Amino acid sequence: MYTFSSKLKVFSIILMVAGLIGIAYGFLTIPSAEQVEKIVAEEHSHATTAHNEHTAVADTHKHTDATAQAEHKEHIEHVSHQVHNRPWAAFYVAALFFFLISLGVLAFYAIQNAAQAGWSPVLFRVMEGITGYLLPGSIIVFLLLVAGVFHHHHLFVWMDKEVVETDKLIQGKLGWMNPTRFLIFAAIYIVLWNGYRYFSRKFSLAQDAASDNSNFKKIFKFSAGFLVIFIVTESMMAWDWVMSVDPHWYSTLFGWYVFASFFVSGITTITMVTFYLKSKGYLEYVNKSHIHDLAKFMFGISVFWTYLWFSQFMLMWYSNIPEEVTYFVTRINEFRWLFWGMVILNFLLPLLILVSADMKRIQNVVIIAGMIILMGHYVDFYVMIMPATVGSQWQIGIPEIGSVLFFLGLFIFIVFTTLTKAPLLAKGNPYIEESKHFHY
């Protein structure tokens, strides 16, 4: 049985406390109305220089004083929403990222069970431990969605009736983008995912003491059925929870893109937790061949993510349809170094580090690659959500770092507490002996 070390427990608590301080700082330092006006004035002064270059044609663009005042007031209100959104958006990105890591691990676990894989059963309890975060993580995300429906934040602009009344494009999407359906579907996703996690864990533990393989067969059937449900619900979740922050934009492969991002993050997390447990003397049956296979998945899904990223970007940029390409124009103009940086972090560096078969067997190399991948995919979710919610008012400061620290601490605390609840070897699995002696 695994024992949660006091040092790691204290470390996770310190992370949570430090994170809560950073989160509180973000909410307590939201700019006042006067500060927002100052921000707008500074932006206006920067824009004036460029505007003065076109004074020769200024007469054709003059507005009445009333119109100018109305536009100025509207701009102040827009910036006010952005700065008020920042701590909420920082919290939401981190909450969603860590929740989706556990969901990615759950999908990987279901795939291994449905495929009746012989190499991975020695890692099943690691996967079950990580998916222990699924329930608390999903509750936090759901509460954030509820907060949006009740207008405590404005991350989803289509929930604002005033915006909808003046936006014909959103009006055409009200059959899907309405708060009632949004929350009902969110609850359905969460119940289905947590339901599979609950029953698969229950049958897995029962199989340890069973005299036959009936529980193993139940897991197989549940896993096969879950994967069919997961394919549909994951895409719908991506549309609802991520893509709808940009309600004018759409992409037919966005669900797969989001999946690739959190799937590789989940596999990477399995690898990192495995390394930690082995360093403490656990998981004695996990060998270099198991690590090599995990590293192959990290490498392969990183390439798959890049294929989806490039397919989406290249086709939309080339076709130049305004409601599609504006998504990328905003991110390239205002988030340039993050937008291109995540390609380096999520594709180029993992490719260079893990392309060699020998490198996939070296622990320190795989750890470095794992840290890069996790950081890169946090940036990926940041770039997906922040441009539509905070726009030009984005930063990576105390609220963002605090949110990551809090959820990292909570994730560590819950995952490693879950690992103490059962033996780290799923001894009842009929493929466990094959997994123990997995070499190639």
Distance of CA 150 to the CA centre of its chain: 23
Nearest to 182 by CA among 147, 131, 231: 147
DSSP 282-333: --TT--HHHHHHHHHHHHHHHHHHHHHHHHHHHHHHHH--HHHHHHHHHHHH
Distance of CA 364 to the CA centre of its chain: 25
Give the CA angle between residues 111, 113, 115 to the nearest 5°. Answer: 65
Q: What is the pLDDT of residue 56?
A: 45
Q: Give pTM, 2 decimals.
A: 0.93
Q: Which amino acid is at 215?
A: N
Asked if the structure places residue 76 within a domain, the reply is: no
Q: What is the pLDDT of residue 96?
A: 98
Asked if the structure places residue 385 within a domain, the reply is: yes
Rounded distance between C-alpha atoms, residue 114 and residue 110, angstroms: 6
Rounded distance between C-alpha atoms, residue 386 and residue 392, angstroms: 9
Q: What are the residue ranges in the chain where pLDDT is below 70?
A: 40, 43-75, 78
Rounded distance between C-alpha atoms, residue 355 and residue 302, angstroms: 11
Rounded distance between C-alpha atoms, residue 185 and residue 240, angstroms: 9
Asked if the structure places residue 374 within a domain, the reply is: yes
**C-alpha distance from residue 413 to each of 9, 10, 150, 255, 266 (Å):** 6, 9, 31, 30, 17
Rounded distance between C-alpha atoms, residue 410 and residue 14, angstroms: 10
DSSP conformation class of 346? I
Asked if the structure places residue 130 within a domain, the reply is: yes
Q: What is the pLDDT of residue 5?
A: 94
Domain that residue 384 falls in: 6-30+83-422
- The number of domains in the chain is 1
Q: What is the pLDDT of residue 77?
A: 72
Asked if the structure places residue 22 within a domain, the reply is: yes
Asked if the structure places residue 404 within a domain, the reply is: yes
Rounded distance between C-alpha atoms, residue 106 and residue 219, angstroms: 13
Nearest to 140 by CA among 99, 87, 188, 193: 99
H helices of 29-151, in order, are 33-52, 65-114, 124-130, 134-149
Rounded distance between C-alpha atoms, residue 213 and residue 210, angstroms: 7
Tell me the pLDDT tens digit for each residue of 10-20: 999 999 999 99
Asked if the structure places residue 45 within a domain, the reply is: no
Is the Cβ–Cβ distance between 91 and 144 less than 8 Å?
yes
Nearest to 131 by CA among 102, 107, 153: 102
Is the Cβ–Cβ distance between 428 and 208 less than 8 Å?
yes
Asked if the structure places residue 48 within a domain, the reply is: no
